[in-house]
Amino acid sequence: MQTLHAATPMNAEAPQPASQPGNQPVAIDMRDLSLTFETADAPVVALSKVNLQIKAGEFVSLIGPSGCGKTTLMRVMADLERPTGGEITVNGLSPEQARLARAYGYVFQAPALYPWRSVRRNLMLPLEIMGVPREEREARAARYLDMVGLKDFANKFPWQLSGGMQQRVSIARALSFEPKLLLMDEPFGALDEITRDHLNEQLLRLWERTQKTVIFVTHSIPEAVFLSSRVVVMSPRPGRILDVIDCNLPARRTLDARETPEFLAIAHRVRRALRAGHSYDD
Amino acid sequence: MTTDALSRPLGQPSAFGRLYNGTALPVAVVLAIVVVAWYLGAIWLNAGLVEQRLAQAEKPAGLAEFVHTAWSLDRPVLPAPHQVAIEFYDSVFTRDVTSPRSLVFHAYVTGSATLVGFVFGTLLGVLLAVGIVSWRTLDRSLLPWIITSQTIPILAIAPMIIVVLGNVGLTGLMPKAVISMYLCFFPITIGMVKGLRSPDPLQLDLMRTYSASPSQVFWKLRCPASMAFLFPSLKVAIAISLVGAIVGELPTGAQAGLGARLLTGSYYGQTVQIWSALFMAALLGMALVAAVGVVERLTLRHMGARP
């Protein structure tokens, strides 16, 4: 399998990784954010008093068991759900304004490719909608397909690609309109472990190179610790933040970093926090 | 099984194997049974007429003559298949195609009304579906009426449509096309509504993250997603559009068209003529459905459907 950066010479003079967000502006600011779904029998508290600040250039993972509201939290950032309490800003704007300004690219759990469009035309979909001129669309589609190593598959239809390839197309699609913020909802959840490892490493390189803000929802502790500058541990019923764990693993790390004592120590802290969340349950 | 059969390379079955595994053999068997039953039925149903004829001739007749007479009457109750085949061949291939005795001419008259009605019905059906999907009010107010419209027997309203349109000066092709349209917009509306609503929440969320306008969502998502639903509806629609055109020819005493041919045939007891017109109508219907099928395959292949 090719890598996300293999085809681009850019990697050679890649800028320093953006893992020192100390002086960076705040990308996402949530204060006492709450969301309650009104259902037929009883209201469901999906989010309860969530406070979190994410700086530009950070890679933040949201981890927690199913139903802990991590996807809901991300959907609130994307203005796909409306919070019922508290405040949230995205790049200093309300989520709706940020969405209208096309501030973020969203990678869903499933690739969500349109089956009647070729890979290349799937990539051009957001560009068409945003009114990018035709030549620029073609150029960007070619550039980002190259970046995810799928240049040779441009004219294939989604069903002709493997699951991992489809998900890479959906990542390229989210990058194609060059948003500063990338929201990724368990993008590798449905893939086998080997493909997943590979894409993890590629994503890390991509983040180091582009200095985007990435928010990443996952079930997997190794994935979260390996990728992130911070891991946010969440717990269900009601969805809330239990702990925020810094993981300053060395920059330009490879998958081997997962066997270092530092990595294992952080993973251990994350696991303990997750377990603490579960002890509240029945 | 012989060693010869065993030694044959895989993927190249014998001629019998191809017949046996394909649909050709079952279809041929059913066809043979139908033809045999038809010939026997012709003897049974025409027996009365044959007895009269033989009584007039006043000479004893054997079984062979009885059967021969039953299969060669001028105006049988049920004509034998070969009589229909000969009449069909004569009226398709030996007549001038512009002559009213040519079945090609009648098929053309009915076919053109069918196609005009189909085009109008498709436009109306798609338009209604877009309205229903786009405006909740239309969904609630229109759909019950659309369903009610199809519960009224078409034979009951067809004469009224023809009389009313005749009064405003529309005769010939148009009233028939209107009846066709009335019948065929319905499956298209139902299929299109389903198709336009078929995108899943994820595909819609994606559009929302791009802050796409409603018209962009329609043209780039709903419309292409509905194509797989539209074509099966179009196939049903063009078949009932043909029914509509034929029904439209019945109550008017129309001079031309397959419906007129059926009607004159039944006035004069020309059962052979009725049956050959019937076969022409069936062939026309099959050809129209097949044509839609070809367009469907080309379109869906262009849209990346799996072969």
Task: Judge if B235 and B158 occupy the same domain.
Answer: yes
Q: To the nearest whole angstrom, how far is the Cα of B195 from the nearest Cα of chain A?
A: 14
Asked if A247 contacts A266 with a C-beta cutoff of 8 angstroms, the reply is yes
Could you tell me if residue A130 is inside a domain? no
Say if residue B224 is in the same domain as residue B114.
Answer: yes
Number of domain units in chain B: 2
| B6 pLDDT above the threshold of 60 | no
What domain range is A242 assigned to? 18-103+180-279
> What are the pLDDT digits (tens) for B8-50?
555 555 666 666 667 788 889 999 999 999 999 998 998 888 8
Q: B183-196 pLDDT, tens per residue? A: 999 999 999 999 99
DSSP bridge partners of A185: A217
Question: Which residues 183-222 of chain A have a CB within 8 Å of chain B?
Answer: none
Chain B environment of A108 (Cβ under 8 Å): 202, 205-206
pLDDT for the residue numbered A8: 42
CATH code of the domain containing B266: 1.10.3720.10
B15 lies in the same domain as B151: no
Residue B303 pLDDT > 60: yes
For residue A114, being part of any structural domain is answered with no
Domain that holds residue B59: 3-78
Of A277, A244, A184, A221, nearest to A51 (Cα)? Answer: A244
B304 to A112: CB separation less than 8 angstroms, yes or no: no
Whether chain B has a CB inside 8 Å of the CB on A106: the answer is yes
Tally of domains within chain A: 1
Q: Do residue B304 and residue A126 have CB atoms under 8 angstroms apart?
A: no
Give start and end residues of each alpha helix (H) in B8-101.
15-21, 24-57, 63-70, 81-89
Q: Do A80 and B209 touch (CB under 8 A)?
A: yes
Q: What is the pLDDT along chain A (282 residues), one digit of tens a residue?
A: 444 544 444 443 444 444 454 567 888 888 888 888 888 888 888 888 888 899 888 999 999 888 788 888 999 999 999 998 888 998 888 889 889 988 899 999 889 999 999 999 999 999 999 999 999 999 999 998 988 888 899 999 999 998 889 998 999 999 898 888 999 999 888 888 888 888 888 889 888 888 889 999 998 898 999 999 999 998 887 888 888 988 878 878 888 888 888 889 899 998 988 887 765 544
| Residue A133 in domain | no
ipTM of the complex: 0.84
CB A256 within 8 A of CB A273: no
Sort out which chain A residues have CB atoms less than 8 A from B212's CB and list them: 129
Burial annotation A171-206 (CB, 10 A radius, 16+ → b, else e): bbbbbbbebebbbbbbbbeebeeebbbbbbbbbbbb
Contact: A106, B211; criterion CB under 8 Å:
no
B206 contacts in chain A (CB < 8 Å): 106, 108, 112
Distances (CA, A) of A9 to A147, A209, B112, B113, B183: 10, 12, 63, 65, 63
The answer to whether the beta carbons of residues B198 and B226 sit under 8 Å apart is yes
Q: What is the pLDDT of residue A182?
A: 92
Best to test chain A binding among B200, B211, B222, B229 (most A CBs inside 10 Å): B211
Which DSSP helix (H) or strand (E) runs through A104?
strand A104-107
Q: Is B202's CB within 8 Å of A114's CB? A: no
In a domain, B12, yes or no: yes
> Tokens 């989210």 sit at which residue?
A174
Q: Is the pLDDT higher at B306 or at B218?
A: B218
Cβ–Cβ of B203/A125 closer than 8 Å? no
Same domain, B173 and B271: yes
Determine the pLDDT at residue A117: 94
With pLDDT > 70 as the criterion, what percentage of chain B qualifies?
92
Mean per-residue pLDDT, B272-286: 92
Q: Has residue B90 been placed in a domain?
A: no
Chain B contact for A99, CB < 8 A? yes
Structure tokens at A40: 């037929």
In a domain, B85, yes or no: no
Q: What pLDDT shows up at residue B85?
A: 92
Chain B positions in Cβ-Cβ contact with residue A118 (cut-off 8 Å): 304
What CATH number is associated with residue A254? Answer: 3.40.50.300
- Regarding whether B143 and B284 lie in a shared domain, the answer is yes
Task: Indicate whether B182 belongs to any domain.
Answer: yes
**Residue B92 within any structural domain of the chain:** no
Residues of A whose CB is below 8 A from B306: 159
- Asked whether residue A1 is domain-assigned, the answer is no
| Closest chain A residue to the Cα of B227, Cα to Cα | A116
Q: Tell me, yes or no, whether B155 and B260 share the same domain.
A: yes
pLDDT at position B253: 65
Question: How close is the nearest chain A Cα to the Cα of B265, in Å?
Answer: 50
Q: Are A232 and A63 in contact (CB under 8 A)?
A: yes
Contact B203 A114 (CB under 8 A): yes
Indicate whether A138 belongs to any domain: no
Q: Are B51 and B113 part of one and the same domain?
A: no
Interface residues of chain B, partner chain A, Cβ below 8 Å: 202-203, 205-212, 216, 220-221, 224-225, 227, 303-306
Is B70 found in the same domain as B122? Answer: no
DSSP A6-67: TT-GGGGGPPPPS--GGGSPEEEEEEEEEEEE--SSS-EEEEEEEEEEEETT-EEEEE-STT
**Predicted pLDDT of residue A18:** 45
Residue B230 confidence (pLDDT):
94
- Is any Cβ of chain B less than 8 angstroms from the Cβ of A115? yes
DSSP string computed for A208-221: HHH--EEEEEES-H
Residue A29 in any domain: the answer is yes
Residue B94 lies in a domain: no
In this predicted structure, what is the pLDDT of residue A5? Answer: 46
